[in-house]
Amino acid sequence: MMKKVSVVIPTYNPGKRILKTIGALKKQSPYEMIVVDDRSETDTSFLKSIMGIKFIRCSHGGAAKARNVGIKAAKGEIIAFIDDDCIPSENWLKNITRHFKTPEIGGVGGAYRTENKSLIPWLIGEEIAYRHSKYDRFIEFIGTYSAAFPKKVLEKVGGFDEDFKHADSEDNDLSYRIRRAGYLLVFEPRAYVYHHHPDTLIKYMKNQMRRAYWRVLLYKKHKSKISGDKYSGIRDFVQAPIAFFIILFSVLSPFLQDFVFLSLSFLVLLILMQIKESCYMIRRGGLKGILIIPLNVLRAFAWLFGVVWGSILFFFKRDKEVQTFKFLMKMRIY
């Protein structure tokens, strides 16, 4: 018998973009659709009048909290998650729920397709495709922009950790806990969603700095994952330290000529680490794929600043996290 599926959409200041998400989902006939508003600052009253959805407004606490509210309200045996800026493909719901035939499957994750086609979104989307190209059927991490889990599994592991105040790394944390509980996670590339990636360099760098910030909390909880998983390997972990040494030796170079050589050597190393990914993109989209090299080099410095910021807050000034969360929102980094 087909299991009942509840789809949960956490949202915050969604604007009208969420209507595309809801409209595409309605064509796929989920058992129930739940929209959880994380106390938006903009008007979301229009969502209450949409037929066929359950609208819940909770106190502001981030996507992890909003998803937990959705889990508690859901009546389906399987709970699927999608973000409010994603548009599911035609058979998304069918594809992402087709694997729940045996009890050892603890979750299924899908893939991205890029909705906006300008250069930076294309590079971001192709990098994600490169990472997914290395996946086997079974994976260690599911992104909740396209995901489904048995409700009993989510309840067993305690749902999402609400210490993650932004939609960043809370899905890694959940995935690691589900795996630790003995369940398998499956990658289903046919369960893809269309996503609008950051379309300017500044937006992308803010996004990456924020991601590195929350990764500090993730790796504080899961130290064994610092070396990476099937999505983010050791390459991601070492790039921020390399960026640190580039800056350090550049600052010291006026005092000793050898530091110029060391700074340039680390920069060359950072560039060389992007070659394989760049070749993948060139094969798929032409010479513009080479631009992933400078983009990733700049990203390494954004990660460095995010890691330093997160380390100070999460390790030394825990009581300041609320103020930092408010600052992230004020700077539009949230």
Distance CA 120, CA 107 (A): 31
Distance CA 125, CA 116 (A): 10
Query: Average pLDDT over the chain, rounded to whole?
Result: 89
Q: What is the pLDDT of residue 318?
A: 52
Please write the tens of the pLDDT for every residue from 130-159. Answer: 999 888 899 999 999 999 999 999 999 999
Domain boundaries, the chain: 5-199, 234-330
Q: What is the pLDDT of residue 316?
A: 66
Distance CA 15, CA 17 (A): 6
Report residue 308 CA to chain centroid gap. Answer: 20
Q: Which of 198, 112, 183 is nearest to 147 (CA)?
A: 112
pLDDT band for position 290 (cuts 50, 70, 90): very high
CA angle 38, 161, 159 (to 5 degrees): 90
Distance CA 322, CA 313 (A): 10
> pLDDT higher for 325 or 78?
78
State mean pLDDT over 95-101.
Answer: 93
pLDDT beyond 80 at 212: yes
CA angle 307, 113, 51 (to 5 degrees): 100
What is the percent of the chain with per-residue pLDDT over 70, rounded to a whole number? 93
Please write the tens of the pLDDT for every residue from 1-54. Answer: 567 999 999 999 888 889 999 999 999 987 899 999 988 888 888 888 888 899
CA dihedral 213, 248, 265, 230 (to 10 degrees): -20
pLDDT band for position 323 (cuts 50, 70, 90): very low
Q: What is the pLDDT of residue 322?
A: 46
Integer angstrom CA distances of residue 16 from 44, 200, 319: 9, 21, 36
Please write the tens of the pLDDT for every residue from 298-310. Answer: 999 999 999 998 8
Contact 252/259 with Cβ under 8 angstroms? Answer: yes
Distance CA 281, CA 34 (A): 37
Distance CA 89, CA 73 (A): 25
Contact 310/324 with Cβ under 8 angstroms? Answer: no
Left if phi > 0, otherwise alpha if psi is -120 to 50, otherwise beta: which for 91?
alpha
* 72 CB-contact burial (10 Å; exposed 0-12 / middle 13-18 / buried 19+): middle
pLDDT band for position 333 (cuts 50, 70, 90): very low
Distance CA 171, CA 93 (A): 19
Which token pair is 237? 């972990």
pTM of the model: 0.88
State mean pLDDT over 157-162.
Answer: 94
Q: What is the pLDDT of residue 329?
A: 46
CB atoms within 10 A of CB 173: 22
Q: What is the pLDDT of residue 255?
A: 81
State mean pLDDT over 118-140.
Answer: 92
What is the percent of the chain with per-residue pLDDT over 90, rounded to a whole number? 66
Polymer length of the chain: 334
Q: What is the DSSP string of 19-87?
A: HHHHHHHHTT--SEEEEEE---SS--GGGGG-TT-EEEE--S--HHHHHHHHHHH--SSEEEEE-TTEE
Please write the tens of the pLDDT for every residue from 216-250. Answer: 889 889 988 887 777 777 788 899 999 999 999 99
Secondary structure class of 141 (helix, strand, coil): coil
pLDDT beyond 70 at 330: no
Query: At residue 188, what are phi and psi to the nearest 5 degrees?
Result: -125, 95
pLDDT beyond 80 at 332: no
- The superfamily in CATH containing domain 5-199 is Spore Coat Polysaccharide Biosynthesis Protein SpsA; Chain A (3.90.550.10)
pLDDT beyond 60 at 202: yes
Q: What is the pLDDT of residue 266?
A: 95
